[in-house]
C-alpha cells in the first residue's frame, strides 16, 4: 500500500462564530470522529480538520451589538467551539480559523488562480442576510418573501459583485456527481444536488466594502470584500498548506461532512473552485440531517434551542455519544427530547451494556477468572461493510444487537445454575466465552464510545474490576 493510500483526510463544516455551539453542531464532529477512530483502528494515518468560520456581516454585526472589538469577539467564540469539540471526546488533528493570517493570504492566492473564471457584474436581487446569499425570484415567491430559515423578509439589494462562472464547470460537476467520482451520500441528496446544479446560475463571490467590512479583501480591488463562502470553503485545503505546499498526501479528502442545509455550497461552489484550481474533487460528501427539538426546528425565537453542555452534564459523554450517534440516523433528521434521552440512557446504555458488564465482571471475579490478555477481536465483514458505507448509526445498531445477544445468551445458558450445581469447570468455560463475546462487541463499539470501551477492555483484558467504579463517568474532558 502506498503512503497516500494509508492516509485519510476527513473534514467538518466550520461553524459561524456569531454564537455558541448548539446541539446540531455536535453532529458534524461526532460523525467525523467515528470515521476517524474507525480508520485509526484500520491503521490509517488520519488527518481530521475542524475550525471556525469568522468573517461576514452577520458576525460583524453581532460583535458590534455585543460591544467588543470584532477580533476579540471571534477569538472568544472560536475558543468556545474548540472547548466544545474537545468535550465531545473528538480527536481532531487540525484546527483552522478563517481569520488566521496564513488562511487569509492563501485564500487571496486561490482567488488569483481562479481569476480566469471570475468576472465583475452588477446585480439587483433579493438577498437574505441570515443566509448571506442572493435568492432567486422563484425562491422568493415560494417563501412569500420571508426566509424560512431566518424568519426575516428578504431585502432588495443592488450592487457590483464578482462572479464565479459556475457555467464553466457545470457539465464536469454533473458528470462527477453522476458517476460517483464525488459520491454524495445519501443517494437522495445526490439527486437533490444534481437538481440544484441544474438550476444554478453563476454565483456572486464578493460584496462591496461599504456593505461588508469584515472579510478578506479581493486582491487588486480595494472596494470589494470576498463573500464568506469561497473564503470558508477554501479552509479545507488552506489548512493543509495550499497553495504553498504540495497537499497530495491528503487531498482529495476521503470524506467531507456537512449538514443538509449547506449541501448546495459543497456540491456546486466547492467543486467549481477545485476544478478551477486543477485539484481533484473530494471522494465522498456526506450530508447529514438536522437535530430537532421536540420535533421542531430549533430557533432562538421559539426558545427551544438545546444547550449541548447541559445535555452532556446529565449523564456524561458516553450517554451523549450514544444518543446522537445511534438514535440520530446518520442521513435523516433526528429528534431530541429530554424523555427520549433519559429512556435511551436508562433502558439501553445503562441496562443493556452497563448491567451486562457489571453482571459478567462479577461472575468472572467470583470464579477467579484471569483477564483475557491475549485476546484478538474478530471483526465481522458485515460490520465493516456498513462502516465503509458510512451509515454509522446502522453500524452502531449492528454492534448493539451483539450486546443484546450476549444478554440473551446469559439468560439462556443461566451460568448461576452451573454455579449452584458446582459445575465449576463448565462455568469457567462459559464465562470465558461470554467475556470473549463481550470483547468482540466492545471492539465494534470503539469508534462510538471510546471512553466506555476502554474501561471494558481494562476490566476484561487486565482483570481490573474495581467495585463501584462507574462505567459511564460523568466527568467531562477538561
Binding site for ligand MSP (CB under 6 A): 13-16, 24-25, 27-28, 53, 232-233, 235, 258-259, 261-262, 290-291, 298
Neighbours of 135 (CB within 10 A): 19
When the beta carbons of 28 and 348 are compared against ligand MSP, the nearer one is 28
Q: Which of 25, 62, 117, 288 is catalytic?
A: 25
283 is an active site residue: no
Q: How far is the CB of 422 from ligand MSP (least distance, A)?
A: 56
Residue 5: HSE in the Cβ half-sphere, 13 Å Cα cutoff: 2
Dist CA 57 CA 47 (whole Å): 31
**DSSP 8-state assignment for residue 260:** G
Q: How far is the CB of 397 from ligand MSP (least distance, A)?
A: 20
Q: State whether residue 191 is helix, strand or coil.
A: helix
Q: Strand pairing partners for 51?
A: 96
Quick check: 300 and 149 in contact, CB under 8 A?
A: no
Q: How far is the CB of 186 from ligand MSP (least distance, A)?
A: 15
Phi-psi region at 129: left, alpha or beta (left = phi > 0; alpha = psi -120 to 50): alpha
150 is an active site residue: yes
C-beta nearest to ligand MSP: residue: 259
Nearest to 314 by CA among 294, 338, 349: 338
Dist CA 319 CA 352 (whole Å): 13
364 is an active site residue: no
255-259 and 7-12 beta bridge pairing: parallel
When the beta carbons of 16 and 250 are compared against ligand MSP, the nearer one is 16
When the beta carbons of 24 and 316 are compared against ligand MSP, the nearer one is 24
313-317, Cβ contacts within 8 angstroms, sequence gap of 24 or more: 313/474, 313/476, 314/341, 314/345, 315/345, 315/349, 315/472, 315/474, 316/472, 316/473, 316/474, 316/475, 316/476, 317/87, 317/88, 317/89, 317/451, 317/476, 317/477
Q: How far is the CB of 349 from ligand MSP (least distance, A)?
A: 22
When the beta carbons of 24 and 276 are compared against ligand MSP, the nearer one is 24
When the beta carbons of 51 and 415 are compared against ligand MSP, the nearer one is 51
25 is an active site residue: yes
Q: How far is the CB of 256 from ligand MSP (least distance, A)?
A: 9
Dist CA 244 CA 238 (whole Å): 9
CA–centroid distance for 366 within its chain: 43
Dist CA 246 CA 319 (whole Å): 41
The span from the first CA to the last CA of the chain, in angstroms, equals 38
Q: How far is the CB of 29 from ligand MSP (least distance, A)?
A: 9
When the beta carbons of 118 and 293 are compared against ligand MSP, the nearer one is 293
Q: Which of 6, 22, 340, 423 is catalytic?
A: 22
Q: Which of 300, 314, 366, 464 is catalytic?
A: 300
131 is an active site residue: yes
Q: Which of 174, 209, 297, 428 is catalytic?
A: 297
Instruction: Write out the three cell numbers for 226.
Output: 470576498
Q: Which of 131, 365, 394, 432 is catalytic?
A: 131
**DSSP 8-state assignment for residue 186:** S
Q: How far is the CB of 213 from ligand MSP (least distance, A)?
A: 18
Q: Which of 87, 103, 128, 446 is catalytic?
A: 128
**How big is the CA angle at 29 (ends 129 and 13), to the nearest 5 degrees?**
35
When the beta carbons of 12 and 442 are compared against ligand MSP, the nearer one is 12
When the beta carbons of 123 and 290 are compared against ligand MSP, the nearer one is 290
Q: How far is the CB of 140 from ligand MSP (least distance, A)?
A: 21
Catalytic positions: 22, 25, 128, 131, 147, 150, 297, 300
Amino acid at each position: 500500500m502506498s503512503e497516500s493510500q494509508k492516509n485519510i483526510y476527513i473534514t467538518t463544516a466550520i461553524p459561524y462564530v456569531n454564537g455558541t455551539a448548539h446541539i446540531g453542531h455536535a453532529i458534524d464532529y461526532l460523525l467525523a470522529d467515528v470515521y476517524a477512530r474507525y480508520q485509526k483502528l484500520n491503521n490509517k494515518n488520519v488527518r481530521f480538520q475542524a475550525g471556525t468560520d469568522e468573517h461576514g456581516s452577520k458576525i460583524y454585526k453581532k460583535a458590534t451589538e455585543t460591544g467588543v472589538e470584532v477580533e476579540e469577539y471571534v477569538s472568544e467564540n472560536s475558543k468556545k467551539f474548540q472547548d466544545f469539540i474537545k468535550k465531545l471526546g473528538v480527536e481532531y488533528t487540525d484546527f483552522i480559523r478563517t481569520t488566521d493570517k496564513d488562511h487569509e493570504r492563501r485564500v487571496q492566492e486561490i482567488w488569483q488562480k481562479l481569476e480566469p473564471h471570475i468576472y465583475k457584474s452588477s446585480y439587483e436581487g433579493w438577498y437574505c442576510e441570515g443566509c448571506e446569499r442572493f435568492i432567486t425570484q422563484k425562491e422568493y415567491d415560494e417563501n412569500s418573501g420571508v426566509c424560512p430559515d431566518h424568519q426575516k423578509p428578504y431585502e432588495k439589494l443592488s450592487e457590483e459583485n464578482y462572479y464565479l462562472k459556475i457555467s464553466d464547470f457545470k457539465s464536469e460537476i454533473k458528470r462527477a456527481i453522476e458517476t460517483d467520482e464525488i459520491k454524495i451520500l445519501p443517494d437522495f441528496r445526490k439527486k437533490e444536488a444534481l437538481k440544484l446544479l441544474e438550476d444554478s446560475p453563476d454565483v456572486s463571490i464578493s460584496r462591496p466594502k461599504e456593505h461588508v467590512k469584515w472579510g478578506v479583501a479581493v486582491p487588486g480591488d480595494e472596494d470589494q470584500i470576498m463573500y464568506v463562502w469561497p473564503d470558508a470553503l477554501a479552509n479545507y485545503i488552506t489548512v493543509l498548506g495550499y497553495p504553498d505546499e504540495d497537499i497530495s498526501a491528503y487531498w482529495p479528502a476521503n470524506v467531507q461532512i456537512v449538514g443538509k442545509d449547506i449541501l448546495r455550497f459543497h456540491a456546486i461552489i466547492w467543486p467549481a473552485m477545485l476544478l478551477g484550481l486543477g485539484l481533484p474533487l473530494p471522494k465522498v460528501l456526506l450530508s447529514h440531517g438536522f437535530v430537532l427539538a421536540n420535533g421542531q426546528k430549533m430557533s432562538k425565537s421559539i426558545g427551544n434551542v438545546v444547550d449541548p453542555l447541559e445535555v452532556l452534564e446529565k449523564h456524561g459523554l458516553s450517554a451523549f455519544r450514544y444518543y446522537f450517534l445511534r438514535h440520530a440516523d446518520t442521513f435523516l433528521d433526528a429528534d431530541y427530547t429530554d424523555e427520549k434521552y433519559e429512556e435511551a440512557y436508562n433502558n439501553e446504555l445503562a441496562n443493556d451494556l452497563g448491567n451486562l458488564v457489571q453482571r459478567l465482571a462479577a461472575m468472572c471475579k467470583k470464579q477467579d477468572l484471569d483477564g483475557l490478555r491475549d485476546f484478538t477481536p474478530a471483526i465481522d465483514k458485515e460490520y465493516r461493510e456498513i462502516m465503509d458505507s458510512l451509515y454509522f448509526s446502522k453500524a452502531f445498531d449492528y454492534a448493539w444487537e451483539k450486546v443484546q445477544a450476549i444478554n440473551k445468551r446469559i439468560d439462556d445458558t443461566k451460568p448461576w445454575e452451573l454455579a449452584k450445581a458446582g459445575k465449576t469447570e463448565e462455568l469457567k468455560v462459559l464465562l470465558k466465552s461470554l467475556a470473549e463475546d463481550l470483547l468482540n462487541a466492545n471492539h465494534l463499539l470503539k469508534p462510538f464510545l471510546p471512553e466506555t470501551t476502554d474501561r471494558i477492555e481494562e476490566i476484561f483484558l487486565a482483570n481490573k474490576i474495581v467495585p463501584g467504579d462507574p462505567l459511564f463517568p460523568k466527568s467531562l474532558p477538561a
